[in-house]
């Protein structure tokens, strides 16, 4: 089978893991890199062996050689670039979040249906070895019905600055940036129930604490600490139509003793901790068992997760697999995220019809 010819749009921080995964994939020919910043696009193209560079994504999309693209740009551009790519006949791997609003998500869904092209959302944590291992236990019914989940992604210092801290371009702070990952993970494990209501709180109490020294953190390619109009903490209780519930809290900065990543799900027959490390909790012969699956990556491994996500995308492009994180999952997620922001702004629970 011939190689899938790929272009990467957006050559900032996260593009490195996309480009590394594509460059290492024998079924891929990396053709082009595009960024508003020509030097950045050129450097990445050279580093990863792509022949062409663009500064206008429309020109990349007009290139008939390219069959598939990764969209690694600011959140406010995801919908327009993805739709234009689909309309140009390309398959799309769009970084999370799918976009900023429910209306945008519905527009992308409509474009997927109209064009018949593939769109995979970059829910990379679904591709973690710990998650895919647990999935088999869940699919075999070993946890039973999952009725509660709890997720925290708390950074004590980690506002990436630049566009991440500009709500116009990002859509918000840690909720849309980090919350999207851990909410999706729980929701995916719970069997994607429909959201019934959300109640959330957001806080802007600590700003970005750019004055703190001696602690490093993930930064946007154009890091700038001057602009920051996003929340630094969000929490929410999400209710689903099947009666299940999910409690989540996420921060860019918080007076916490250390960073915390914890994702836990609880079912009728058993529970599981996905992060910080995979454990399965069950009972047998009147005894509670904490089971530790023996796997290479009991916690999320960044590059391995992206390698698996991109290998799956390439297989989908070749018609060998069905998209694991389709556009519909982005529409439901945007309902949840935007509902939480609305709930926090209005100080009340938001109900969905």
Q: How far apart are CA 104 and CA 88, in angstroms?
A: 18
Contact (Cβ atoms closer than 8 angstroms) between residue 304 and residue 106: no
DSSP states of 269-314: S-EEEEESS-EEEEEETTEEEEE----S-SS--HHHHHHHHHHHHH
* Beta carbon nearer to ligand NAD, 181 or 209: 181
Minimum Å gap between C-beta 353 and ligand NAD is 29
Q: Which residues of 146-178 are buried (b: 16+ CB within 10 A; e: fewer)?
A: bbbbbbbbbbbbbbbbbbbbbbebbbbbbbbbb
CB of 36 vs ligand NAD, minimal distance in Å: 4
How far is it, in rounded angstroms, from Cα 174 to Cα 329? 19
Q: How far is the CB of 222 from ligand NAD (least distance, A)?
A: 6
Output the smallest distance, CB 126 to ligand NAD, in A: 11
- Which residue number, 173 or 271, has a Cβ lying nearer to ligand NAD? 173
Our CB check for ligand NAD shows the closer of 119 and 280 to be: 119
Residue 245 CB, nearest approach to ligand NAD (Å):
25
Q: Which is nearer to ligand NAD, 15 or 253 (CB)?
A: 15
- Shortest Å, Cβ 314 to ligand NAD: 17
Residue closer to ligand NAD (CB basis): 222 or 229: 222
Task: Give the binding site for ligand NAD (CB under 6 A).
Answer: 9-15, 34-37, 40, 57, 72-75, 77, 95-96, 122, 124, 162-163, 177, 220-222
Report yes or no: 248 and 152 within 8 Å, Cβ to Cβ: yes
Q: Distance between CA atoms of 314 and 332, rounded to whole angstroms?
A: 25
Instruction: Please check whether residue 253 is in contact with residue 232, taking contact to mean a CB–CB distance below 8 angstroms.
Output: yes
Nearest to ligand NAD of 18, 239 (CB atom): 18
């Amino acid at each position: 089978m011939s190689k899938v010819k790929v272009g990467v749009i957006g050559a900032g921080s996260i593009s490195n893991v996309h480009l590394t995964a594509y460059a290492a994939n024998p079924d891929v020919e990396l053709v082009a890199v595009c960024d508003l910043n020509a030097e950045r696009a050129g450097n990445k193209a050279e580093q990863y062996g792509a022949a062409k560079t663009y500064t206008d994504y429309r020109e990349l999309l007009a290139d008939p050689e390219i069959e598939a693209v990764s969209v690694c740009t600011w959140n406010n551009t995801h919908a327009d670039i993805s739709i234009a790519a689909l309309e140009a006949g390309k398959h799309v791997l769009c970084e999370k979040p799918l976009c900023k609003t429910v209306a945008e998500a519905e527009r992308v869904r409509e474009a997927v249906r109209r064009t018949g092209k593939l769109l995979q959302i970059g829910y990379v944590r679904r591709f973690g070895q710990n998650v895919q291992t647990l999935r088999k236990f869940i699919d075999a019914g070993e946890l039973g019905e999952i009725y509660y989940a709890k997720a925290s992604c708390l950074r004590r210092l980690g506002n990436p600055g630049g566009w991440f801290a500009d709500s116009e371009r990002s859509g918000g702070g840690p909720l849309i940036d980090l919350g999207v990952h851990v909410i999706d993970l729980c929701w995916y494990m719970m069997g994607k129930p429909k959201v019934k209501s959300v109640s959330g709180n957001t806080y802007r109490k600590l700003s970005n604490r750019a004055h703190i020294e001696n602690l490093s953190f993930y930064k946007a390619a154009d890091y700038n600490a001057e602009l920051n109009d996003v929340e630094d903490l969000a929490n929410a209780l999400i209710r689903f139509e099947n009666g299940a519930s999910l409690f989540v809290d996420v921060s860019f900065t918080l007076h916490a003793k250390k960073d915390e990543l914890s994702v836990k799900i609880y079912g009728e027959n058993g529970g599981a901790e996905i992060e910080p490390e995979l454990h399965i909790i069950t009972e047998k012969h009147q005894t509670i068992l904490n089971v530790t699956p023996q796997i290479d990556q009991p916690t999320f491994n960044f590059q391995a997760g992206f390698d698996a996500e991109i290998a799956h995308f390439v297989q989908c492009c070749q018609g060998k697999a069905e998209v694991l994180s389709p556009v519909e999952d982005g529409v439901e997620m945007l309902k949840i995220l935007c509902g939480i922001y609305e709930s926090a702004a209005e100080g009340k629970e938001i109900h969905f019809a």
